Amino acid sequence: MHTIIEPFKIKSVEPIYFTTPQQRQNILQKAFYNPFLIQAKDVMIDLLTDSGTSAMSSEQWAGIMRGDESYAGSESFFRFETAVQNITGMPYIIPTHQGRAAEKIIFSIMGGKGKYVISNTLFDTTRANIEFSGAEAIDLLCAEGKLPSVPAPFKGNLDIEALEQFIMAKGARRIPLVIVTITNNSGGGQPVSMANIRAVKSVCNKHHIPFFIDACRFAENCYFIKTREDGYANKSILEIARELFSCADGCTMSAKKDGLANIGGFLAMRDETLAMQSRNLLIITEGFPTYGGLAGRDLEAIAIGLNEVMEEPYLKYRIRSIEYIGEKLDTAGVPYIKPTGGHAVYLDASAFLPHISPDQYPGQALCGALYVAGGIRGVEIGSVMFGKYREDGSLIPAGMELVRLAIPRRVYTQSHIDYTTEVIINVFSQRENITGYKIIYETPYLRHFTARFESL
């Protein structure tokens, strides 16, 4: 087998500034040990997120010039609308400035006190928007999804039996929607199978509960369906995507992921009344329905990106380059969620740093160590992000303590990836020296963005 090469050439480059471990130690301390508070120029390999960090293609940059900035009825909007309709088959397409704006609108309308929104695993902003509406956010992930070291093809699946039981226990009237995240970002970037999507749809239909998809990484999920699920090997990504969306009543999307754009998102749905309610809120918070908080040029870039992201040479390279990191980590026994997901490698910080208890935030400590050792920026997905407190102030830890290394789309080359794995393996060999953290400042919602820490 040949090496799978990056299916693109580089036309424009950005510098990486090199720093020493000593300099990074000082930078980290000044940033209160929170990677979100480090300046990007002080990061060498930035794996904080794959959101909005994609390299756009020359076609997309050409689209930026073509962008029609008319306030109402811009041509770029119609190209955007057609691109989204073509993939989702949904008639009502509402642009938003990013994914969470779509979430804010849908949960303001459908959420509220006394209700439960069920998911395989909600992403942090989705969960926050549900909780902000007064509703409760419920994750019902399949059993395999909770075992980091045990590989399975579709670890993002929703637990269908638990869904049935939950509906029985609480009553369908209190469940305004079920939303399945593809791929399951917070649960390891793991895909959801078509069979599972169909099963969720059928339970929802039976109980007359609307079924939505959080479609941020729909193309990566469809590629996993193509390569792992029986009956899809000969279907195109577009065909698989259409089948998948045909099961849903609506979707939210951040175009900063599989839109290959630097900003943008949308809400799509089949119900006209819901679309009208959504547009009313959109006008108050985002903008007129043909731009929704975006410039015409952004809509143009998204329309092009949504098609480029479904190209198979791209998806093959994308999924393979992340698998490749996993294989390198295996050679040194570094613990991570297996198999690797679609957009990221999730280091298992509890297994990596067994000497640090959850209330000393092993994921955050590992992030700090990777930054100092190699200028690599990852993000904690564990008790900093999802932890809660008991009444006595003690921590209710998250289900898993992870560090996500998200790979920006079309940005880093194989040597950047090789360097990254070398740094991780080096940190792993000296893991006993890493110490935990204590939180010294935090906010009530999405605390991980701004929290400050002290090294213990």
If one asks whether residue 126 binds ligand PLP (CB under 6 A), the answer comes out as yes
Q: Which is nearer to ligand PLP, 32 or 107 (CB)?
A: 107
Q: Which is nearer to ligand PLP, 24 or 318 (CB)?
A: 318
**Residue nearest to ligand PLP as judged by C-beta position:** 99
φ, ψ at 455 (rounded to 5°): -80, 135
What kind and span of H or E run contains 404? strand 402-406
Q: For residues 162 and 189, what is the distance between their CA atoms, to the nearest angstrom? A: 21
Q: For residues 123 and 114, what is the distance between their CA atoms, to the nearest angstrom? A: 21
φ, ψ at 54 (rounded to 5°): -65, 150
Q: Which is nearer to ligand PLP, 125 or 278 (CB)?
A: 125
Contacts of 172 (CB under 8 A, 6+ apart): 207, 208, 209
Tell me how far, at minimum, the Cβ of 99 lies from ligand PLP, in Å: 2
Binding characters for ligand PLP, 339-378, by CB under 6 A (x = yes):
----------------------------------------
If one asks whether residue 318 binds ligand PLP (CB under 6 A), the answer comes out as no
If one asks whether residue 259 binds ligand PLP (CB under 6 A), the answer comes out as no
Tell me how far, at minimum, the Cβ of 263 lies from ligand PLP, in Å: 8
Stretch that binds ligand PLP, among 5-13, 151-159, 188-196, 250-258 (CB under 6 A): 250-258
What one-character-per-residue DSSP string does 295-348 give? -HHHHHHHHHHHHHTT-HHHHHHHHHHHHHHHHHHHHHT--B-SS--SSEEEEE
Q: For residues 405 and 395, what is the distance between their CA atoms, to the nearest angstrom? A: 25
* Other Cβ atoms closer than 10 A to 172: 14
Tokens of residue 295, six digits: 């410039």
Q: Which is nearer to ligand PLP, 345 or 439 (CB)?
A: 345
Number of residues that bind ligand PLP (CB under 6 A): 15
Burial 58-86 (b: 16+ CB within 10 A, else e): eebeebbeebbeeeeebebbebbbebbee
Tell me how far, at minimum, the Cβ of 126 lies from ligand PLP, in Å: 5
CA distances to 16, 37, 137 from 384, in Å = 29, 15, 18
Q: For residues 25 and 20, what is the distance between their CA atoms, to the nearest angstrom? A: 9
Tell me how far, at minimum, the Cβ of 291 lies from ligand PLP, in Å: 16
If one asks whether residue 226 binds ligand PLP (CB under 6 A), the answer comes out as no
Q: How many helices (H) and strands (E) does the chain have?
A: 16, 16
If one asks whether residue 125 binds ligand PLP (CB under 6 A), the answer comes out as yes
Binding characters for ligand PLP, 171-190, by CB under 6 A (x = yes):
----------x---x-----
Q: Which is nearer to ligand PLP, 51 or 350 (CB)?
A: 51
Q: For residues 196 and 224, what is the distance between their CA atoms, to the nearest angstrom? A: 13
Tokens of residue 365, six digits: 């400590």
Stretch that binds ligand PLP, among 119-127, 145-153, 287-295, 435-443 (CB under 6 A): 119-127
Tell me how far, at minimum, the Cβ of 303 lies from ligand PLP, in Å: 17
Site for ligand PLP in 63-102 (CB under 6 A): 98-100
Q: Which is nearer to ligand PLP, 176 or 265 (CB)?
A: 265
Site for ligand PLP, rule CB under 6 A: 51, 98-100, 123, 125-126, 181, 185, 214, 216, 254, 256-257, 265
